[in-house]
């Protein structure tokens, strides 16, 4: 109990809260580039936008300064006919750099054809697969990523939860759309990883709060139902849904038997069937599974993962993704990547249960960080006294306030988005070697949205022989460009009466 006579002194306003609200800052530059023999002229706006909350007494109250990079093609097309796409990555805690300089923008980081980095110094090259020829682009950095920050007096942590993140990004999109007179334009979202979680949430928020209806949503390496990816005690679902990606990874690293090694498609079909039938039933039985039935499951898991029967037995038939990355090539002293299991790396020793770091993330961090910072300063002429935060550790402290004692599932929000806007269409890109958001888990989520068949037909998926950022792999980048072009065409108002 507190002592009423022991009064604390009145605290002065913090120095932070008395700092002036930063002014919006923009840099506008003009560019030309030749893409596959076609000359493109475009305008780039790199800048900040101040988000404000409406206050009944004080009017609009500044809350945060969001950094963005916007591309507008100068081809004479009327604004109402020119699509606009808002892009963001995931984390949570990631800037928009990955899709900006890897997939969508007119410049991309140079990697080899398999997606492996060259030694520094790194290079930016014209992106023959940019989406700028199809749609204007706006890359958004959520609060605490890139140059985006709360204004003085506001706490960054207030933005670090599911609902506030969706609200702040959604309010940015609404303000940008209004300022730039894009309400009549076809509008798209494209998110990657946790960015797909955000995009599904925005399908509800934008349409319900702002009446901003979308033509299409593009989900790159989707995760909508977190119950499909949380290896928690009592939740056997991820073990089932990760199995086909374990098989794909083992196939890539030549760890399967000769018959499966001969055909990836056949190997995946066998893994999917086993996962959805005998494996699911085996995990459902728990400790009641025994004898020859258990031995049969162990043998089949070994066949489909490249791991020893002894190891699988010791895991109680439940292979955690982090353990898999360490175990698959342990005898060679190698770990495989989580974001992209084609990549390999080395730990301090081979005895640990879990890997120390993800080699696929380590391989891409340096090139993308260097090129983003150089590009903003040199070509886009934007300067800031802040550090551009490429990828923070916000995912460790991210708040799921409205989902206590349950798994976050924005699939229901996406379903409601379809009900509100029946014209909405969704495209999903899946990498076979993605151990962060495995394709079979995404298929499970889509199949459990509870959508009528006519709405399910508005969701289409495509698959790539690469990982989480499938666009790092040049053949997959080319295929993804073609798939996104077709999707935008299908969502265009001119073709709205065609079946999707």
CA angle 405, 408, 413 (to 5 degrees): 130
Look over the chain and give the mean of its residue pLDDT values, rounded to a whole number.
Answer: 93
Least confidently predicted of 154-163, 175-184, 350-359: 350-359
9 pLDDT higher than 70: no
DSSP label at residue 371: H
> Residue 182 is encoded by which pair of tokens?
């894009």
Distance, CA of 397 to CA of 491 (rounded, Å): 37
> Over pLDDT 70: what percentage of the chain?
94
> pLDDT digit string (tens) for 121-142?
999 999 999 999 999 999 999 9
The band of 440, judged by pLDDT with boundaries at 50, 70 and 90, is: very high
Cite the residue boundaries of each domain of the chain with CATH code 3.40.50.1820: 26-227+366-495
Joined together, the tokens standing for residue 165 give: 């993140």
Q: What is the pLDDT of residues 277-304, one digit of tens each?
A: 999 999 999 999 999 999 999 999 999 9
Burial class (CB in 10 A: 0-12, 13-18, 19+), 258: exposed
Statement: residue 162 has pLDDT above 60: yes
Strand residue runs (E) in 127-173: 136-140, 149-150
Chain position carrying tokens 């760890």: 255
pLDDT at 422 over 70: yes
Q: Does residue 59 register a pLDDT over 80?
A: no
The answer to whether the beta carbons of residues 442 and 414 sit under 8 Å apart is: no
**Which of these CATH numbers, 3.50.50.60, 1.10.10.10, 1.10.10.60, 3.40.50.1820, describes 26-227+366-495?**
3.40.50.1820
Number of residues that make up the chain: 500
pLDDT band at 494 (very low <50, low <70, confident <90, very high): low
According to the model, what pLDDT value does residue 492 have? 82
- What value does the mean pLDDT take over residues 179-192? 97
* Nearest residue to 392 (alpha-carbon basis) of 2, 23, 90: 90
């Amino acid at each position: 109990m507190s002592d009423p006579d022991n009064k604390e002194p009145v605290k002065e306003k913090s120095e932070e809260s008395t700092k002036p609200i930063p002014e919006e800052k923009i840099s506008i530059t003009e560019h030309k580039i030749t893409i596959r023999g076609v000359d493109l002229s475009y305008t780039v706006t790199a800048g900040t936008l101040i988000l404000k909350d409406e206050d009944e007494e004080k009017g609009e109250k500044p809350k945060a300064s969001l950094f963005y990079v916007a591309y507008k093609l100068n081809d004479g097309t009327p604004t109402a006919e020119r699509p606009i796409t808002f892009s963001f990555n995931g984390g949570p805690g990631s800037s928009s750099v990955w899709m900006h300089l890897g997939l969508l923008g007119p410049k991309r980081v140079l990697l080899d054809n398999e997606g492996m980095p060259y030694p520094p110094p790194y290079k930016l090259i014209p992106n023959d697969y940019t989406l700028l020829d199809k749609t204007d682009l706006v890359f958004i950095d959520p609060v605490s990523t890139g140059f985006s920050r709360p204004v003085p007096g506001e706490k960054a942590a207030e933005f670090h939860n599911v609902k506030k993140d969706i609200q702040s990004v959604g309010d940015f999109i609404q303000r940008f759309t209004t300022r730039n007179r894009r309400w009549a334009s076809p509008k798209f979202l494209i998110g990657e990883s946790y960015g797909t979680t955000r995009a599904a949430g925005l399908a509800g928020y934008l349409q319900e709060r702002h009446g901003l209806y979308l033509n299409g949503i593009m989900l790159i390496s989707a995760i909508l139902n977190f119950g499909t990816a949380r290896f928690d005690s009592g939740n056997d679902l991820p073990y089932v849904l990760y199995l086909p990606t374990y098989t794909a990874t083992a196939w890539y690293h030549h760890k399967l038997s000769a018959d499966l090694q001969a055909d990836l498609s056949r190997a995946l079909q066998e893994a999917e069937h086993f996962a959805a039938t005998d494996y699911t039933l085996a995990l459902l039985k728990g400790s009641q599974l025994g004898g020859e039935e258990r031995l049969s499951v162990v043998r089949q898991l070994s066949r489909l993962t490249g791991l020893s029967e002894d190891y699988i037995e010791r895991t109680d038939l439940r292979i955690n993704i982090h353990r898999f990355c360490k175990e698959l090539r342990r005898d060679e002293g190698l770990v495989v990547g989580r974001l992209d299991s084609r990549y390999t790396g080395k730990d301090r020793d081979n005895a640990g249960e879990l890997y120390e770091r993800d080699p696929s993330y380590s391989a891409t961090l340096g090139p993308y960080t260097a090129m983003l910072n150089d590009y903003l300063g040199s070509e886009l002429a934007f300067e800031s006294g802040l550090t551009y935060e490429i990828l923070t550790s916000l995912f460790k402290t991210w708040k799921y306030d409205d989902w206590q004692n349950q798994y976050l599932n924005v699939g229901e929000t996406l379903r409601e988005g379809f009900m509100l806007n029946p014209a909405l269409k969704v495209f999903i890109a899946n990498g076979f070697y993605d151990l962060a958001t495995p394709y079979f888990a995404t298929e499970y989520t889509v199949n459990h949205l509870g959508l009528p068949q006519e709405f399910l037909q508005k969701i289409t998926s495509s698959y790539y022989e690469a990982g989480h950022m499938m666009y790092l792999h040049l053949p997959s980048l080319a295929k993804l460009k073609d798939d996104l072009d077709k999707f935008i065409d299908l969502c265009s108002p001119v073709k709205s009466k065609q079946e999707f």
